[in-house]
Amino acid sequence: MAETSAPRRPAASPPQAAAEPPLPATLRRNAPLVPTDTAASRALAAVIAILTFLAALCAGAAEIVATSAGQWQGAVAQEVTVQVRPGPGRNIDADVTRAQEITKAVPGIAETRIFSKAESESLLEPWLGSGLDLSDLPVPRLITVKLASSPAPDLKALREQLSEALPGVASLDDHALWLQRLSTMANTFVGIGAGIVALVLAATGLAVVFATRGAMAGNKEVVEVLHFVGANDDYIARAFQSRFFRLGLRGGAIGAGAALLAFAFAGVLARLSRSGPAGDEIEALFGSFQVGWRGYALIIVIGVIASVVTAVVSRITVRRFLA
């Protein structure tokens, strides 16, 4: 009886090498130390752009107020007012003429103008209302005096001459009190603007701190490998600083550019509104609504400062995190 041969087993195929699991994105070859295009990076750039835009708006508004206040002060300082009050038994018209003659005789006086009785009474309408008979009230008469730039008039001597010629009747107002109040108001507004800019830059630094810590936590494995192969903390800090500086520069440029466009658009609207009924009031309050070269330079500097703050804060945060 023939032996049945056992079925032959198929030859075993050589074992295949197990597929290596893909490396995480932070450990792949040629991957940057800090991811260059992530949702967090784009969000941080947007936050920096918004904060830079707000800071630039505050700085530009403060510059407009400072420029307008300087124009107001220059206009007010070029004029003084002589006030002639009616007195019992005195001829108000003769006193006004006498005060004008004394004022004209002082060197440095460019022009004088006497307000008529009707013009003097119309100045009281904002407080007393219109349609009132003010003929029985002792309404003072005014003389506006424009000062020449050279030679400068001696206002103290003019005040003494008016007091001697018309005692208790004529007085000189050099608007010093209004100039002081105007200067105080402008300086206060500029100080508030500078404080807001500082707070916005501080908020930018805080946002960069949280973003840097998040990036360090997400790249912890890469940092450990770099330490293992001998990279020092300064090398890692420079990598993060370079990346966040570019983010800050992009956000600062976008925010500053948006602020420049906003002020340019506002200037165009102000020029167009001058032909309307409220044009004189707008020009009196804001001037030509032009930031000027100093304001535009300040806006650009704020954009640069935002990027520098981003780089410095990120470097400090990385060094403290590694420590």
Same domain, 299 and 158: no
Render pLDDT for 206-225 as a digit per residue (tens, 0 to 9).
Answer: 988 888 888 777 777 777 77
Looking only at the bridges linking them, the beta strands covering 170-173 and 141-147 are unpaired
Nearest-Å Rg of the Cα atoms of the chain is 38
- Highest mean pLDDT among 2-16, 59-73, 125-139, 286-300 belongs to 59-73
The answer to whether residue 29 is domain-embedded is no
Question: 110, 136, 168: which is the final residue of a domain?
Answer: 168
One domain for residues 121 and 201: no
C-alpha closest to that of 257 among 304, 193, 289, 201: 304
| Same-domain pairing of 152 and 129 | yes
In a domain, 3, yes or no: no
Question: For residue 203, is it within any domain?
Answer: yes
State the total domains in the chain.
2
The pLDDT of residue 68: 79
Is 214 part of any domain?
yes
- Residues 41 and 130 placed together within one structural domain of the fold: no
Distance CA 149, CA 126 (A): 33
Q: Is residue 175 part of a domain?
A: no
* The pLDDT value given to residue 31: 54
In this predicted model, what pLDDT tens digit does every residue of 85-133 receive, in sequence order? 887 778 888 888 898 888 888 888 888 888 888 887 787 777 776 766 6
Assess whether 206 and 314 both reside in one domain. Answer: yes
Q: How confident is the model at residue 23 (pLDDT cuts 50, 70, 90)?
A: very low
For residues 309 and 269, membership in a common domain is answered with: yes
Instruction: Mean pLDDT check: name the lowest of 28-32, 62-66, 247-251, 256-260.
Output: 28-32
Beta bridge partner(s), residue 79: 146
Residue type, 118: A
Residue 150 lies in a domain: yes
The residues, ordered by sequence, that sit 6+ positions from 216 with a Cβ below 8 Å of its Cβ are 223, 240, 317, 318, 321
Res. 29: pLDDT tops 60:
no
Together in a domain, 300 and 246: yes
Tokens of 151: 């030679």
Burial 61-72 (b: 16+ CB within 10 A, else e): bbbbbbbbbeeb
Last residue of some domain: 168, 200, 223? 168
Asked if residue 308 and residue 193 are part of one domain, the reply reads yes
**Cis peptide, bond prior to residue 277, ω within 30 of zero:** no
Give the pLDDT mean for 238-267: 87
Domain that holds residue 118: 86-168
Task: Band the pLDDT of 50: cuts 50, 70, 90.
Answer: very high
Residues 126 and 257 in one domain: no
Instruction: Evaluate whether residue 161 is within a structural domain.
Output: yes
Domain boundary among 168, 197, 230: 168
Any domain includes 120: yes
146/58 same-domain check: no
User: Taking the model in full, what pTM does it have?
Assistant: 0.70
| Residue 129 and residue 54 share a domain | no
Q: Are residues 204 and 314 in the same domain?
A: yes
DSSP, collapsed to helix, strand or coil, labels residue 283 as helix
